[in-house]
Amino acid sequence: MPEILSFSRNICTVVEQIRDDLMTSSCRLQDTLMDAYVKISVKIPDLEINGIEGKLERSFSGEKIDVEEAFNKIMGTRVGPGIRKIIRGFIGNSATEKQLAFMVEECCSGLILSFTKDQMKKIPKDPEKARHFFENLVRENPRLYKGCAALSPGSPLVDNIKFD
């Protein structure tokens, strides 16, 4: 059987610092069935969504979605833990709406990761110092412990940490 592609999906997320008190995060999804764009504006430091827009350029699902209406419900929501549940709860259940919700989530993840990136720049190059860095990070943020394989028992990054 020739290995010709049956389906292709591209998702590109970009985060931009507009002003000291404003950031935007946009996501473009293009695949065999759909082409859509979502952009959120977020107030700093609250990380509150104060603007959201989107466009469905192409969709083979045949659904007619009022993108604006679907998005209005999440205005004022804060980007942070629990946002996924809120987005999924507010932006419909149809296939297209689920995809739009996923794109909003991508925007939110990108935004959070842009801050993570700044933190990562502080990791020392020396392996032992780097280990201490992560150890302190987990001590200060206990919910990171057992949150992934790298920060679970057995990993040298958390060897010296014991939570009740």
Partner 1 sequence: MLTFTRNKLVSVWRKDDDTLSAHGILEDDIYSLEIDVSLSLSQLEILSIAGKWNRAENSECRRAIPFLQEAVGFKMGEGFTQRVQKLIGRKSCRHLADMLLVCCYSARDTAQVIRWEAEKEKRPDLGLVEVLSEQRISSSGPIKDSQISSGKPLKRGAGDLPLSKKAMIRGEMIIDLHVHTSPASPCSSASVGELIEEAKRIGLDGICLTDHNYVWAAAEVERLREKHDFLILRGNEITTDQGDVLVFGLEKEIKGIIALKELRQEVLKAGGFMILAHPFRGFLTFGVGQLGLTVEKAMERPLFEFVDAVEILNSKVTEKENRFASEVAEGLNLQVTGGSDAHAVSGVGIYATRFSDRIDNEIDLIRALKKGNYVPVAFREGMKKRS
Binding to partner 1 in span 61-90, by CB under 8 A: 61-62, 73-74, 76-78, 80-82, 85-86, 89-90
Determine, following the binding rule CB under 8 A, whether residue 40 of this chain makes contact with partner 1.
Answer: no
d(CA 145, CA 153): 8
Number of Cβ within a 10 Å radius of residue 122: 8
Determine, following the binding rule CB under 8 A, whether residue 153 of this chain makes contact with partner 1.
Answer: no
The DSSP call for residue 158 is: G
Determine, following the binding rule CB under 8 A, whether residue 17 of this chain makes contact with partner 1.
Answer: yes
Nearer to partner 1, 53 or 133 (CB): 133
Which residues pair with residue 24 across a beta bridge? 16, 41
Determine, following the binding rule CB under 8 A, whether residue 55 of this chain makes contact with partner 1.
Answer: no
Q: In the bound complex, what is the minimum distance in angstroms from residue 25's beta carbon to partner 1?
A: 8
Determine, following the binding rule CB under 8 A, whether residue 126 of this chain makes contact with partner 1.
Answer: no
The answer to whether the beta carbons of residues 32 and 7 sit under 8 Å apart is yes
Q: In sequence order, which residues have a C-beta less than 8 Å from that of residue 42 and are 6 or more positions away?
A: 22, 23, 24, 25, 48, 49, 50, 79, 111
Determine, following the binding rule CB under 8 A, whether residue 7 of this chain makes contact with partner 1.
Answer: yes
Nearer to partner 1, 55 or 123 (CB): 123
d(CA 129, CA 76): 40
- Pick from 6, 64, 128, 162 the residue near partner 1 by CB under 8 A: 6
| Residues that contact partner 1, how many (by CB under 8 A) | 76
